[in-house]
Structure 1
Amino acid sequence: MAALDLIPLAALLALLVTAYAHPSGRVEAGVGVLAALATLSTGILTRSEVEDTLRHLGPVVLFLVTILVVADVCARAGLFAAAAARVRDAGRGRAVPIFTGVFLLAAAVTAALSLDATVVLLTPVVVAAAVSSGTSYRPGAHACLRMANSASLLLPVSNLTNLLAMPHLDLTFGGFALVMAPVLAVVLVVEYVALRLLFRSDLAAPPGPTHVEEAPPIPRTPLVVVLLMLVGFGVGSPLGVDPFWVSGAAAVVLVVWARRRGLLTAPDAVRSAHPTFAVFVLSLGVVVAALAAGFLGSWVSDRLPDGTDFASLLLIAVIATALANLLTNLSATLLLVPLLAPLGDTAILAALLGLNIGSGLSYTGSLANLLWRRGMVRLGHPPSMREFHRVSLLVTPISLIAAVAALSLVT
Structure 2
Amino acid sequence: MTVLLTIGIFILTLLLILLRPGGLHEAWATVIGAALMLLTGCATFAQAVAVTARGADVLIFLFALMLLSLLLDRSGFFEWAAIRAARWAKGNGRNLYRNVFVLGALTTALLSLDTTAIILTPIVLSFVRRLKLRPLPFLMACAFVANTGSLLLPVSNLTNLLFQGSFHFSFAAFALRMLVPQVVVLVLNYVFFKYRYKKELPLHFDIETLPQPMEVVPDRGYFNMAVGVMAGVTIGYFAGALLGVQPYVIALSGALVLLGYGLLKKQIGFSLVKSISWSLFPFVAGLFVVIQGVENLGLAGYAARAMVSVQQAPVFVQLLATCFGTALGANIINNIPMALLSISVLTKAHAPDLIRFAALIGCNVGPNLTVAGSLATMLVISTARKKGEDIGAMDFFKTGLWAMPLLLIGTVVALYAVSFLF
Q: Deviations over 1:30-84 (max 9, x none)?
A: 5433322321234444565434412221110111122111111111221110000
Counterpart of 1:226 in structure 2 is 230
Cα drift, residue 296 of structure 1: 4.0
What secondary structure, in the 3-state scheme, does the structure 1 residue paired with 2:228 have?
helix
Alignment check: 8 A CA contact 2:362 2:408 kept:
yes
In structure 2, relative to structure 1, the CA distance for the partners of 1:134 and 1:291 (3 Å cut) is same
Larger CA deviation: 81-90 vs 297-306: 297-306
Q: Which residue of 2 aligns with 1:376?
A: 384
Query: Who is 2:282 aligned against?
Result: 279
CA distance in 1, matches of 2:56, 2:166: 15
The amino acid across from 1:306 in the alignment is: Q
Select between 92-101 and 217-226 the one with higher mean Cα deviation.
217-226
Q: Which runs of 5+ in 2 are unaligned?
A: 218-222
Q: CA 1:93/1:386 → structure 2, altered by over 3 Å: closer, same or farther?
A: farther
Distance 2:187 2:376 in 1: 22
Amino acid at match of 1:128: S
Aligned partner of 2:250 in structure 1 is 246
Contact 1:81 1:216 in 2 (8 A): no
User: For residues 272 and 258 of structure 1, what CA distance do their matches in structure 2 show?
Assistant: 15
8 Å contact from structure 2 (residues 336, 374) kept in 1: yes
User: What is the rounded CA distance, in whole Å, between the counterparts of 1:236 and 1:281 in structure 2?
Assistant: 26
RMSD: 2.4
Using the TM superposition, name which of 277-286 and 169-178 deviates more. Answer: 169-178
5 Å-filtered alignment, 1:146-165, equals: 146-165=144-163
Partner of 1:297: 300
Quote the Cα distance in structure 1 between the aligned partners of 2:244 and 2:23: 33
* Amino acid across the alignment from 1:109: T
Structure 2: distance between partners of 1:178 and 1:95: 33
CA–CA distance in structure 1, aligned partners of residues 42 and 389 of structure 2: 46
1:274 partner amino acid: S
SS in 1 for 2:368: helix
Say whether residues 1:332 and 2:338 are aligned partners: yes
Q: Which amino acid aligns with 2:252?
A: G
* Counterpart for residue 235 of structure 1: 239
Task: Answer whether contact 2:5 2:42 (CA < 8 A) is retained.
Answer: no
Q: CA deviation at 1:203?
A: 1.6
Once the two structures are TM-superposed, the CA of residue 171 in structure 1 deviates from its matched residue by 3.1
Which letter maps to 1:154? L
Distance change (3 Å), C-alpha of 1:229 and 1:309: same
3-state SS, counterpart of residue 274 of structure 1 = coil
Show the counterpart of 1:255.
Answer: 259
5+ unaligned residues in a row in structure 1: which ranges?
none
Kindly indicate whether the alpha-carbon contact (under 8 Å) linking 1:288 and 1:334 is maintained by their aligned counterparts in 2: yes
CA distance in 1, matches of 2:207, 2:191: 28
Q: Which residue of 1 aligns with 2:318?
A: 312
Q: List per-residue Cα deviations over 1:137-160 (Å, max 9, x = no partner).
A: 332222111110011000011001
The equivalent of 1:13 in structure 2 is 11
> Structure 1 residue 395 and structure 2 residue 398: aligned?
no
- Tell me the TM-score normalised to structure 2 length: 0.89
| Alignment-mate amino acid for residue 50 of structure 1 | A
TM-score scaled by length of structure 1: 0.91
Looking at structure 1, the residues matched to 242 and 13 of structure 2 have their Cα atoms a distance apart, in angstroms, of: 36
Relative distance call for 1:401 and 1:136 in structure 2 (3 A) is same
Q: Check the 8 A contact 1:329/1:366 in 2, yes or no.
A: yes
Query: Among the aligned pairs, what percent are the same residue?
Result: 28
Q: Quick one: which amino acid aligns to residue 378 of structure 2?
A: L
